[in-house]
Amino acid sequence: MPVIVTGTVVRWDVDRTDPANPFIVFEDCRDVSAYVSDGQENAATAVLAQYITVVHGAALSYAKLVKDAKDGLIEVFGIRSLRVETPEVPPP
């Protein structure tokens, strides 16, 4: 059964202005929704993939976003799921 999953994505970055004392800074927070056709895909993964697609389109490096996600600097919170029904094919 297809679902729409929604979660709040929070992106952090590392401020290395002082290399001896790097620290985490807030970068972005967005509600993101993604369509999952079979309901089997991990909801957080679907939301994260949609976020990377949308933000990458806003001129941030795809490679940086994927690395940040791998490093734990992009997190997904409050995942919600809404089951949807595929409509019937309309007559010709």
Q: What is the pLDDT along the chain (92 residues), one digit of tens a residue?
A: 889 999 999 999 999 999 999 999 999 999 999 998 875 668 888 999 898 888 776 667 888 888 899 999 999 999 999 999 888 999 99
Query: Into how many domains does the chain fold?
Result: 1
Supply the range of the domain harboring residue 79.
3-83
CB atoms within 10 A of CB 5: 23
Global pTM reads: 0.80
Does residue 89 sit within a domain? Answer: no
Integer Cα distance of 83 and 85 in angstroms: 7
